């Protein structure tokens, strides 16, 4: 029996090869793998000794040869294949042990284009696919973690067809992922937004306790790492935690000022900005001091001792922040289960594409990352907002962007006072926001993710809200503006809507 070993990741390869030799396997190898096996006194032949062809093109061509691929693809039960093998003096190869040049790692490390190109493996995927195609006769080994089980199966003569198919499945998964990463690199380089094929690939990270509900199995798969984060403390992060955490981070990074976003079931229950994390947290908490219980908190700044003392007072599932001072960690770590997540590059990563599952496929769009252009804001009412109202309006419109449609945010002084969201009728969202704002509503402003009708204006006027920001664009705009002028209310049209379904 013969095995061809050519690996970039050389973890445990010497031990594996030694076990194969002990089982009377002949070893063929290339380049660096040949060298390390030879240095460890393992009997090994170079590939060029088998092919009669030296490596060429600086090692780009080593294994692409009929005496290699013929030996791999030879069907042992096919008479014509046997005849060809004998005529061409090709010896069978019964095992391929291969993993690939580290294109993905080089990409993560920000290597230049030429380095990336040279780390596109050609011979490796070709051998892997050939062996996986001929899995009935050839064992294809692509994961160092499988070495032990393969040796055990060989020793116990338990290499059955199920075992072979498992290795083949892993092999095809590897090459599909590898090609996907390369494909996506070129598509991003070309800024190809909607290519003919979408080849997103994700790598298993860990199994989760359960999904949205306890009867659903779930796992976390990691894709392109654009926002590396680190868990500093706490128990396992759950399915819902991961989803809520992403929602909170997306909202908090929208703000330039120090901002705290509290999220429950992916929806903000409080957003606050201030001169300190403590001030911002108080504002976010006071928007809805009941819903924040058991919530997810995202903070686009470093948590200090003063803020940590307040955070420690209530039950929180997760606090994800740009960082934590040592004093803050000491306080927060007193709670065993709270997850503390450090996201250093809080404001420095980009989100490009959003996916949703629909019947028979997915729908794809840009992330809603558009910012308010103050030069394009239209004050369409006779009454003008004050300078302070204008600042509150801009803050409120950022908040409403991350709430579920139909959505209303009533805000003042860099704090959400009342959030109404997820309603099928906009006036219901207005009623909900007004009720939650309570007595604090005096002097507050209102933001809407969609345009208004007269009924919503009447509700806000009755509540004492004098300034409103909304997209505009409705056939009822004229009627709404007339109502505002009659009641000395200010309306700003943005020309931008922020629906979030």
Cα 379 from chain centroid (whole Å): 39
Could you tell me if residue 218 is inside a domain?
no
Do 324 and 452 belong to one domain?
no
Strands 467-470 and 490-493, sheet pairing: parallel
Q: Give the distance between the most distant pair of CA atoms in the chain.
A: 97
Residue 229: strand, helix, or coil: coil
Q: How many CB atoms lie within 10 A of CB 497?
A: 17
pLDDT in tens, the chain (501 residues): 999 999 999 999 999 999 999 999 999 999 889 999 999 999 999 988 888 888 888 878 888 899 999 999 999 999 999 999 999 899 999 999 999 999 999 998 889 999 999 999 999 999 999 999 999 999 999 999 999 999 999 999 999 999 999 999 999 999 999 999 999 899 888 877 888 888 888 999 999 999 999 999 999 999 888 889 999 999 999 999 999 999 999 999 999 999 999 999 999 999 999 999 999 999 999 999 999 999 999 999 999 999 999 999 999 999 999 999 999 999 999 999 999 999 998 888 888 788 888 999 989 998 888 878 888 899 999 999 999 999 999 999 999 999 999 999 999 999 999 999 988 899 999 999 999 999 999 999 999 998 888 899 999 999 999 999 999 988 889 999 999 999 999 999 998 888 888
Do 279 and 385 belong to one domain?
no
- Give me the CATH number covering residue 157: 3.40.50.1380
Could you tell me if residue 351 is inside a domain?
no
Do 339 and 384 belong to one domain?
no
Do 28 and 156 belong to one domain?
yes
Could you tell me if residue 313 is inside a domain?
yes
Angle subtended by helix axes 31-39 and 13-22, to nearest 10: 70
Q: In which region does residue 491 sit, left (phi positive, over 0), alpha (psi from -120 to 50) or beta (all else)?
A: beta
- Give me the CATH number covering residue 260: 3.40.140.20
Q: Tell me which residue range forms the domain holding 414.
A: 374-493
Do 241 and 178 belong to one domain?
no
Residue 24: strand, helix, or coil: coil
Task: Report the length, in residues, of the chain.
Answer: 501
Could you tell me if residue 360 is inside a domain?
no
Do 65 and 164 belong to one domain?
yes
What's the angle, vertex CA 344, arms to CA 339 and CA 346, rounded to 5?
A: 95
Angle subtended by helix axes 123-133 and 161-189, to nearest 10: 150
Whole-number Å distance between alpha carbons of 403 and 416: 12
Number of domains within the chain: 3
* 361 DSSP β-pair partners: 358
Whole-number Å distance between alpha carbons of 68 and 64: 7
Structure tokens at 419: 């959030």
pLDDT at position 172 is: 97
Could you tell me if residue 40 is inside a domain?
yes
Q: How many CB atoms lie within 10 A of CB 393?
A: 24
Could you tell me if residue 102 is inside a domain?
yes
Do 296 and 252 belong to one domain?
yes
Do 122 and 256 belong to one domain?
no
Angle subtended by helix axes 79-87 and 66-73, to nearest 10: 160
Last residue of some domain: 302, 320, 343?
Answer: 343
Q: Catalytic residue positions?
A: 133, 265
Do 271 and 165 belong to one domain?
no
Give the global pTM.
Answer: 0.86
Cα 42 from chain centroid (whole Å): 43
Tell me, what DSSP letter sits at residue 215? T
Do 12 and 154 belong to one domain?
yes
CB 272 within 8 A of CB 291: no
Do 87 and 45 belong to one domain?
yes
Last residue of some domain: 170, 190, 210?
Answer: 190
Could you tell me if residue 294 is inside a domain?
yes
CB 417 within 8 A of CB 440: yes
Residue 157 preceded by cis peptide, ω within 30: no
Could you tell me if residue 208 is inside a domain?
no
Last residue of some domain: 297, 321, 343?
Answer: 343
Tell me, what DSSP letter sits at residue 442? T
Whole-number Å distance between alpha carbons of 469 and 408: 10
Torsion of CA 151, 157, 161, 164, to 10 degrees: 10
Whole-number Å distance between alpha carbons of 490 and 481: 9
Residue 299: strand, helix, or coil: strand
pLDDT at position 494 is: 93
Do 32 and 95 belong to one domain?
yes
* 26 DSSP β-pair partners: 2
Count of H helices and E strands in the chain? 18, 21
Whole-number Å distance between alpha carbons of 316 and 304: 17
């Amino acid at each position: 029996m013969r095995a061809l070993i050519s690996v970039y990741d050389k973890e445990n390869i010497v031990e594996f090869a030694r076990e194969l030799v002990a089982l009377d396997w002949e070893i063929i190898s290339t380049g660096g793998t040949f060298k390390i096996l030879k240095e460890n006194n393992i009997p090994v032949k170079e590939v060029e000794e088998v092919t009669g062809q030296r490596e060429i093109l600086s090692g780009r061509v080593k294994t692409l040869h009929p005496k290699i691929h013929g030996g791999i693809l030879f069907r042992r039960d096919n008479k014509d294949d046997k005849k060809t093998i004998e005529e061409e003096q090709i010896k069978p190869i019964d095992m391929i042990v291969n993993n690939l040049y580290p294109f993905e790692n080089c990409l993560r490390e920000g290597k230049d284009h030429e380095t990336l190109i040279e780390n596109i493996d050609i011979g490796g995927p070709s051998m892997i696919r050939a062996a996986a195609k001929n899995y009935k006769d050839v064992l294809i080994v692509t994961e160092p973690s499988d070495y032990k089980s393969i040796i055990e199966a060989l020793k116990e003569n338990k290499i059955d067809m199920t075992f072979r198919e498992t290795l083949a499945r892993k092999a095809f998964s590897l090459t599909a992922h590898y090609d996907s990463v390369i494909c996506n690199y070129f598509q991003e380089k070309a800024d190809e937004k909607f290519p003919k094929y979408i080849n997103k690939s994700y790598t298993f990270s860990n199994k989760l306790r359960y999904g949205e509900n306890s009867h659903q199995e779930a796992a976390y798969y990691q894709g392109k790492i654009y926002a590396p984060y680190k868990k500093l403390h706490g128990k396992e992060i759950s399915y819902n935690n991961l989803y809520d955490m992403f929602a909170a981070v997306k909202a908090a990074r929208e703000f330039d000022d120090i901002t705290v976003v509290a999220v429950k079931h992916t929806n903000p229950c409080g957003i606050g900005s201030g001169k300190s994390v403590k001030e911002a947290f108080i504002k976010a908490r006071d928007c809805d001091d009941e819903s924040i219980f058991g919530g997810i908190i995202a903070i686009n700044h470093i948590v200090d001792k003063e803020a940590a003392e307040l955070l420690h007072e209530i039950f929180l599932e997760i606090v994800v922040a740009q960082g934590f001072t040592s004093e803050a960690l000491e306080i927060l770590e007193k709670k065993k289960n709270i997850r503390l997540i450090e996201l250093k590059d809080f404001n420095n990563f980009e989100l490009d594409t959003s996916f949703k599952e629909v019947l028979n496929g997915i729908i794809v769009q840009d992330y809603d990352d558009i910012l308010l252009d103050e030069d394009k804001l239209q004050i369409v009412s006779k009454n003008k907002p004050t300078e302070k109202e204008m600042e509150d309006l801009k803050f409120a419109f950022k908040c409403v962007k991350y709430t579920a449609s139909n959505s209303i945010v009533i805000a003042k002084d860099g704090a959400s006072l009342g959030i109404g969201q997820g309603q099928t009728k906009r006036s219901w969202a207005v009623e909900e926001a007004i009720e939650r704002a309570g007595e604090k509503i005096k002097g507050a402003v209102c933001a809407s993710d969609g345009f208004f009708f007269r009924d919503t204006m009447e509700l806000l006027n009755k509540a004492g809200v004098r300034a409103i920001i909304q997209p505009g664009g409705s056939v009822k705009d004229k009627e709404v503006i007339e109502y505002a002028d009659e009641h000395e209310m200010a309306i700003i049209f943005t020309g931008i809507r922020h629906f979030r379904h």
